[in-house]
Structure formats: structure tokens, C-alpha cells
Structure 1
């Protein structure tokens, strides 16, 4: 089960699913529903945290991708005071609200910023404030939560996660000061499996009707509800120490887009700039040479062992890389294809011959000619030193640069997505057998 939707106490909400007391109401009037991500440039914990790369994607890109792909919003916005955040937001399909200095201070609250946005956008009836630091958010979370407002007539819905933590009262460290339990009886400590735990806000999102925001000055009303997210999707990033943990979590549980393949069967990889580092070595005799990293060749073999066909791409404009590809192709058994100025024109027939769709294809490129393939492939990546035009088109940006392990990194990413798909299919079978 992906989530639980419940009413707040007082609404008779003590069971899963649609509730008798949560009367479902379909309104004939058209509501304008807007997603709003607050992304101030002055983060103290991690400078420009909102656009720092997490698993190859700007942090804010994870939630923008989920919001856009949910198809539930009439508009998707980023509220920011920083030009670099504005550029990233637009690249990921969002409109930008340039917030005023009055709501860009360290002391400014989220509510004040949301109220400013609402004043300047009077057509918006429902605002979903999505936290930029929640990279494991999926479109289905937003869809199910919004339906609680549009179909069940709640005035607000916010996300929670279930925690199993015993809490104790904080006291001054002085003689005679003793702590007390807040949510347990020490004489009857429950086992985890016998205790339902407690619901805690995880901050992923807050859906709120305009009236609550503007007239009552709150994000959660009396006629509100919570939406429970499973712990694996509940990730927050505040300080540097959170980053590596969040990166591993998002690689396993993050949302990578509509066309993320269940199983990649074919991978195209540019030799120049991906398997090489862009440098040409000259011998004393004037012979040109390039190098290749053994980690990258191991990445190719890892994919081949998992029955992923790897095709190496070269260009007539780079004869040195072409010679390397021929040697590498013989050693690894990879087919080598020469592509022209628009690689997509040469690769489409290969995909069709194998009776595959582009969502079943992975592509690794490194420059402007590769943009069409990077956009079209189910999984796509560029090395960490690729130009911005290629980075913006790719679904994953490697930490490693070209010729220094980028191919190996992308291969591991592909295989992790394959593992995720297998686990999900297994879980789906378990869920279906329980009915």
C-alpha cells in the first residue's frame, strides 16, 4: 500500500480509504490549483541547497518533475529571490514568482511568502506548497492528496509519516531534575509490532484553499486531513550530513520521470567525451592517442551480463576516438556505429529493428548534438563535465567526468533502476494476492 489518507481527529477518521464522514463532493466550478515551491537563495545550512545536484539532478528538480508529471496542477511555480534558482526552475518547466525583499529575509515565514504569491495571483483557488527538500516525492502522492480536496471537500491536506520513537521530556541538567516519558509507560514498553506509532509532519507538501491562507492566516484548517506517506518516500535535507543518505535513498525510491523503463534492453554510448576525457596525447613521432578507464570498460561488461546490449557511437570528425571504439568493440563485443550531426536520425532505425521503444533505451551523450536522444531515451545521462545544454536535457548527471568512470557510474544507475523495477513487480504481485 503506497499511502494512507485519513481525516483529522474529530472527523471520524480512524480507518483507511474513503470514509463515511469524509463526504465526497464534486464541484461544478473549475478551480485553479497551483503548485508552489519556495526556494530562497540564502540557505544557511547548505549554500544554494535548492539547486545543488542530488543524484545528478538539481534538488528542486526532483519535486518539479513530480509536480509537472502529476498533471494535477493548472500552474507550477517556484518562489525565489535568486537568479540561478530562477534559471533552474524555468529549465524544469516552472513559472517563477520573484519574491519581494520583505519576504526574503532569514526571519520570513513560509506563510508570509505564500500569502504574497496568493495576493499577486488572485485566480489561484488552491495552493500546494511543496517542499523543495523532499526529493522522493512522486506524482501519485500529489494526485491522491489533491483528490482529498477536490472530491472529499477538505479545506487542507498535509503530508505525514509514521514514526516509532519514544519521546521523553527535556529538563535542565541540574540535581533533582528528572525526565518523564511523554508517549509511553516504561513499565509496559510496547514492542514495535504492537504499537501503531505516531504521525509526524514530514513537510513534503501542504494543500490549502485560498480562504484559509488569506483570511485565516493558516495552512491547516479545522476541516483538514492528513496524507500518510511511507517512510521510504519521506526524505528531508537540512544539513550536509543529510546529503549522502538522501542521495542513496533517492536513487532507490526517487521518481525519474514518466518514461523511466522497467528494464533497459539497449544502451547507446558516445565514445568521445563519455569514454574518453577529451584530451589527445601526441607521441614523439606525432601519433595521436587517447586513453580509456578500466572502470568504464567494467561498466560495459556489467550491463552485458544483465543482457543489456551496448552500442558504441563515433563520429567521422573524431577519427582517434573511432579507432579506439573499433578496438574496444572487438574486446567487449559491442557494435560500433558512426553517427552524423543528428544522431537520432541514425539511431531510430536501430531501435525499430530491435522492436523496442525509446523508453526501453538508455543513452549517454555529452554535447548539443545529443540533446534529442537525451530527451527521448527512458534513461539518459551525461558526464559531470558536460556543457549545460546537455545537462539540461539529461535525466541524470554523473558525478564522474568523461573518461574517468562516468560510464561505470551510469551503468550502476541503470542496474539499480532494474533492481527497483523487479522489487516493485514483486511487491505488486504480493499486494494483488492479498485481495
Structure 2
């Protein structure tokens, strides 16, 4: 076995099909992204909307699909109300699948065929797995071009594995195992072996014609799209979750507006730095508490050159009264905002010569939604109301006043290290090519 250079998306030959490139058609293809998200997951209940690295699992795939701007429509096929709400919050349409294709025995193909039957305008179905949170827009673009530009009927994602496989031996028999993909007397080194292409389950794209005429997701003129191992993440059981979370934090797609380096962070005192409770002493003095983990998180940001401005509202007199004490203790500016914080903060961002892509914002309620939407990085504590969660890019595991600010600070600094690492890798690539 010898090594050779590989194109990351080589075709895997198949029989010539009837696919016609989009530029040779009389009318453009309608390309629909479809994510199947049944509510009855047995391994992890409601797995598709469980929070992974700050957002619902299905949100990672939906974000990549929406921001790729490749699709004429983006759909989530589900039988569950909560999944429907999350899907719509990310901008997807919802196909309510029938009970006939919502059973434990139902296959993905059953659900996809029902979808195309009820949506006759769709020419190409781009089925993406909700359990593949490291999917990026560039993966989708590269794969879809096999159908729209090169005229293939189907394309699916693979990852290259270097695993030696052996034949299974059944218990209670005298069978002897045999090698399936190697010669034990001449074991190749990893660098001398190209490995094998294995489906990684991230996506399966195919034409409507293939689905209807042959009932197949993979057929006709077939291609594969090779994804690098770091992007090949799948989640089936609970033990996969912490591993996937760490992978996503490093290799996940956080959106096209994610800043490389945050320059300034705005953080609401009420509900983020405090836990929303008021303590009243025997003399009638009102008090609130600060968590040392959160104050340490603010100091971490300041030590890394991130300016932190704490926000208090005219509607919260206790937090406002505390502002002077907090400002002195943490060395941060404290600013009073009105019912629409975005209007108050625009001048601050402009005066510093920044764009909102340089800003991190942490809020906790409906009045924060506009800021959560426009900031490059944004977060809410885990006990924030749904309206705030739907507007943010990151949902903390911690509660307000109980470590949420520290968690978001660590997330901001992780993105900074990630960007620095990528710049260093790009430098190495340029000097070695």
C-alpha cells in the first residue's frame, strides 16, 4: 500500500444517471434542506433539542444550512411540538410528519419520501443529520455542487478511517477470525496506507427523480464528499455528549458573524451577575449577592484586554443602587440603560471605533433580545425566559448569579484561543506549501 495525495471531495464512480447540471436546465432546481427530528429518541430523550455547547443540538445544523444561503427552503420534519418551536426559532419551516412515519420502525427514507410527496416543488433533497453538529456551510456547498454543477444524482459524506478490521467470531464456535482489510505479515504504517472511506452520516443529498423512480438515497451517478475527521461527529448515546461538546467548541460553526477577538463585553447586572433574589436585613436594608466565580470571570476578561461594561436598568432600583459598589470592587464601568438597551449602547460601540461583531453581550430578558441578536457573541443564563434564549447564540448551563458570567467569559476566551490557533496554523500552512 502506498500513500498518495487526495482531493477532499473525489467522486466515487457510479452508473451514469439522468441528472442534468443546473446551468443546463430550463428552470432552476428547487433545493430543499431537510432535517429529520423525531421526538421519540430512545437513547437520549428529546436529543435533537438538548443543549450542546450553548444551543440546541439541531440548531448547529440549522445555522449552517441557513447561513450557507444555498437552499430555496429549509425544513425540519418532526412529530413533536417542542422540536417545532426550536426549528422555527432558527428560521426553518416545519413538516409535521404523519404517525405512519413516526414509529420506532420507520426509516429515514420513509420520512423523506413522505416529504417529497407533499412538496412537489422540491427537485433536490439535502438530508442533513441533526446529530452532526460540526457541519459547516463549506461542506454543504462542496457537496451540493456535485448535483447542481456536475450532474450527479446523489452525494453523501464520508470520513477516512485507518482501522484494521477482523472477521467476527461467534461465541461457542471453533471459528477462527480472519483479517478483512490487511495482511498481518505485511502491516502497513499509517502514513503508507490511504485508509478506508466510511459514511459519517452528516448528510445525504439526492434528486427527487432518484427517490421516486428507485426509492434510493444513494444511487444513479453517485459521488462522495470527504470530511476531515475533526468535523465528523455523531451522537447516539449519552457517553457521546461530553466528547461532542468539546469537539464542537473547537470545530463547530458559530456563525459567519462570530468575532475572532471580542473587544468589549456588555453584561446586565440583574439576572446575570445576580440571581434575581433580594435579601432584606432585620433593619429593612435590601441586599443582593455576587458570586465569586462570576467576578473572577470578569477579571479574566479584563486581564485579556476585554473591556467590560456592566449594565443596570432604571427599572431595577436595587441593582442600580449597587452599581457604585460593583464598579469599585470590579474596576468596571457601570452604565444605566433604558427599556431599549441597544439604543443606549450604539454610541458606546461607535465611539470606540468598533462594530457589533467585536461585541459580546450577556442579557437575561426580553429587553435584551435586540442586543443579543446583533452582538458577535451573546449569551443568556440557563434560567432566562424562552424569548431571550431564542435570540441568543449561546445558552449557559449555569444559572444567573451562579456562574453564568464565568461560563460565558470562558467561552469568549476559548473563541479567542481558537482564532489564534487557526491563524498560527494558516501561517504554518503558508510556510510549508
TM above 0.5, one fold? yes
Q: Which residue of 2 aligns with 1:321?
A: 319
**Alpha-carbon shift at residue 337 of structure 1 (Å):** 0.5
Q: Does structure 1 residue 153 correspond to structure 2 residue 151?
A: yes
The alignment of Structure 1 onto Structure 2 pairs a total of residues equal to: 426
In structure 2, do the counterparts of structure 1 residues 2 and 320 end up closer, same or farther at CA, with 3 Å as the change threshold? farther
The equivalent of 1:5 in structure 2 is 9
1:26 aligns with 2:23: yes
Q: Could you tell me how far 1:47 is from its partner in structure 2?
A: 0.8
Counterpart in 2 of 1:312?
Answer: 310
Taking the aligned partners of 2:388 and 2:14, their CA distance within structure 1 comes to 52
On the 8 A contact 1:367/1:386 being kept in 2, the answer is yes
Write out aligned runs for 1:135-214 (5 A). 135-214=133-212
Q: Distance in 2 between matches of 1:192 and 1:320?
A: 64
Cα distance per residue 1:331-384 (max 9 Å; x no partner): 222111100110001100000000000011000000000000000000000000
The verdict on how the C-alpha distance between 1:23 and 1:181 changes in structure 2, with shifts beyond 3 A counting, is farther
Q: What secondary structure, in the 3-state scheme, does the structure 2 residue paired with 1:413 have?
A: helix
Residues of 1 paired with 2:254 and 2:325: CA distance? 34
Name the TM-score, length of structure 1 as normaliser: 0.95
The alignment partner of 1:202 has SS state of strand
Deviations 1:160-194 (A, max 9, x none): 01111111111112352211111111111122222
CA distance in 2, matches of 1:325, 1:224: 63
CA contact (8 A) 1:3 1:227 kept: no
Q: Distance in 2 between matches of 1:2 and 1:115?
A: 35
User: Which position in structure 2 is the counterpart of 1:132?
Assistant: 130
The unaligned stretches of length 5 or more in structure 2 are none
Instruction: Tell me what 1:14 maps to.
Output: none
Structure 2 partner of 1:285: 283
TM-superposed CA distance for 1:320, in Å, is: 2.1
After superposition, the C-alpha distances for 1:235-293 in whole angstroms (9 at most, x for unaligned) are: 10001111111111111111111210011000000001000000000111010111001
Q: CA deviation at 1:431?
A: 3.2
CA shift for structure 1 position 10:
5.8
Correspondence for 1:414 among 391, 412, 427: 412
Matches within 5 A, 1:30-429: 30-429=28-427
Instruction: Report the Cα offset of residue 7 of structure 1.
Output: 0.9
Q: Secondary structure at the match of 1:204?
A: strand
Kindly state the Cα deviation for residue 434 of structure 1 after the two structures are TM-superposed: 4.5
For residues 54-91 of structure 1, the C-alpha deviation after alignment (integer angstroms, 9 at most, x for no partner) is 11211111101110000000000001111111111111
TM-score (norm 2): 0.95
**Contact 1:358–1:377 at 8 Å: present in 2 too?**
yes
Corresponding residue SS for 2:140? helix
Offset, 1:328: 2.2
Answer whether contact 1:3 1:229 (CA < 8 A) is retained: no
SS of aligned partner of 1:396: coil
Pair 1:206–1:32, CA change in 2 (3 A): same
The 1-side partners of 2:216 and 2:432 are apart by 41
Deviations 1:280-319 (A, max 9, x none): 0011101011100110011001111111100000112223
Deviation at residue 398 of structure 1 after TM alignment = 0.3
SS at match of 2:262: coil
